[in-house]
Amino acid sequence: MELYIHIPFCVRKCAYCSFASFPSCNRKEMERYVCALIREASLRRSFLKEKIETVYIGGGTPSLLPPDLVFMLLKCLKSEMDFSSVKEFTVEANPGTVTPEWLEAILPFGANRLSFGVQASQDRLLNLLGRIHRFGDVVQSVHMARQFGIKNINIDLIFGLPTQTADDWKQTLNDVLSLSPDHISAYGLIPEEGTPLFQALENGTLSLPDPDLERNMYDCAISTLHAAGLYQYEISNFASPGKECRHNIGYWTQVPYLGLGLSAASMIRCPDRDNQTDPFSNRWTNPSSFDGYYAMLEQDGIPEEIKESIFPEEARFETVMLSLRMTSGMHRGDFLQLHGEYPEKWYGEILYRLKGQGLLELRDDSWRLTRRGMDLQNSVLVEFMN
Ligand code: SF4
């Protein structure tokens, strides 16, 4: 079982951000929110049917929470929930907001992985994205985390940015590699509707790089990171051996998860399934507004906004879609365990056709995308949808 906790506060809103995050450093608002999270945790305790193996505090900017508040939150969560089986405990942090006091507050509860939102190393691009930090803040924050004994550090990057050149991207990769991170997530920019960046692209103030350049940046990330000992284990994720993100692998392998806080999602497997027509899992999402979230909790209600049951056909498709993102692919035995039959029962014709086209391969009992299949991932997945 995985536990996710959402902290929706940021210093300011980045130009490309569509996450549930709000610009606020107001202590009173944060206190109210932390109390609501603790309340939700106590209401949801009974949903934890299995031991918690990973904890992920994301946002937003969790490193913006004052040290005493983050300490109180973790102390109360630990008294509500059993953390004794937690193997990976990640906290997201933004460079420039990490302090020794904040690190001292999270470490006693087992936090052992920090994930920094870095995105680029050029001031010009950081300004364009509306980020609050400079690359010097990244260097300082990473060194501070190491001094406090954090041995697992992730850095998030974005490529395919307006005005970003191939040289900018190479320099960003080399700059972050000079900090010896254990893990790098490198995402191609997806402009989200409603963001200032999307608006600027719509009205022509900014434009995206040529698709060939974006593809070259992706290739450059794969080869540069591989040469530095960070191997690709998922479309956008690279790690040194043993430092793959367990929490994300859990999502991609459909491990049940419980989310606490604004807009957090949860998925719990349906027990006692008798046949292939019973729902596979239930999912829900918490309200995405403070008012909605607080109103439900104040009435002692479980804060759920969107609820849905996932039936076997959709669950099988999700297994294909999520597992093919990983370079280890879709293991036939794992599929059998989840769905009661091997994948060929439902997808045999498509799997072998895509294999014939050089887009999939069957190796070590796992169906995997070939390199060409990874480049054409969306078209490959459409085949399964059809
Ligand atoms: S720091 Fe992250 S969550 Fe906050 S506004 Fe920027 S992108 Fe969004």
Instruction: Verify that 138 and 25 share a domain, yes or no.
Output: yes
What's the predicted TM-score (pTM) here? 0.95
Asked if residue 285 is part of any domain, the answer here is no
- For residue 275, pLDDT beyond 90: no
Q: Average the pLDDT over 27-46 and give the result.
A: 93
Mode of pairing for the β-strands spanning 231-234 and 237-239:
antiparallel
CATH number of the structural domain spanning residue 61 = 3.80.30.20
pLDDT value for 299: 83
Q: Is the dihedral of CA 24, 26, 30, 33 positive or negative?
A: negative
Position 342 pLDDT exceeds 80: yes
Q: Is the CB of 135 under 6 A from ligand 1?
A: no
In the predicted structure, residue 386 carries a pLDDT above the cut 90? no
Give a yes or no: residue 265 inside a domain. Answer: no
Find residue 157's DSSP bridge partners: 119, 186
Any domain includes 270: no
Q: Is 298 exposed, middle or buried (0-12, 13-18, 19+ CB in 10 A)?
A: exposed
End-to-end CA distance of the chain: 31
Pocket test for ligand 1, best of 6, 9, 10 (most atoms within 8 A of CB): 10
CATH code of 378's domain: 1.10.10.920
One domain, residues 40 and 162: yes
pLDDT, tens digit (0-9, with 9 covering 90-100), for 195-212: 999 999 999 999 999 999
Query: What is the distance between the alpha carbons of residues 25 and 38, in angstroms, rounded to a whole number?
Result: 20
Q: What is the mean pLDDT of residues 240-255?
A: 96
Ligand 1 centroid – CA 17 distance (Å): 6
Tell me: pLDDT of 303 over 90. Answer: no
C-alpha to C-alpha distance for 312 and 248, rounded to whole angstroms? 22
Residue 98 placed within a domain? yes
59: Cβ below 6 Å to ligand 1? yes
CA distances for 143 relative to 101, 120, 178, angstroms: 15, 18, 12
| Residue 295 resides in a domain | no
Specify whether 49 is located in the same domain as 153.
yes
Please tell me whether residues 66 and 197 are part of one structural domain: yes
Whether residue 204 is found in the same domain as residue 319: no
Alpha-helical regions (H) of the chain: 27-44, 67-80, 100-106, 123-129, 135-147, 166-177, 196-202, 211-227, 246-252, 290-298, 312-323, 332-339, 344-356, 371-375, 377-385
Domains held by the chain: number = 2
Residue 271: which region, alpha, beta or left (left: phi > 0; alpha: psi -120 to 50)? beta
- The span from the CA of 382 to the CA of 373, in Å, is 12
Ligand 1: residue whose CA is nearest its atom 5: 13
Query: Does position 155 have pLDDT exceeding 80, yes or no?
Result: yes
In this prediction, residues 168-187 reach a mean pLDDT of 98
Mean pLDDT of the chain: 94
CA–CA separation, 36 and 55 (whole Å): 18
Dihedral sign for Cα atoms in the order 4, 10, 13, 15: negative
121-142 tens-digit pLDDT = 999 999 999 999 999 999 999 9
pLDDT higher than 90, residue 378: no
End-of-domain residue from the set 249, 280, 297? 249
Q: Are both 225 and 364 inside the same structural domain?
A: no
**Both 240 and 349 in a single domain?**
no
Residue nearest to atom 7 of ligand 1 (CA): 17
Query: What residues make up the domain containing 169?
Result: 2-249
Q: Are residues 45 and 194 in the same domain?
A: yes
Q: Let me know if residue 176 belongs to a domain.
A: yes
Interval 268-284 mean pLDDT: 82
Instruction: Kindly state whether residues 112 and 13 are assigned to the same domain.
Output: yes
Q: What is the pLDDT of residue 152?
A: 98
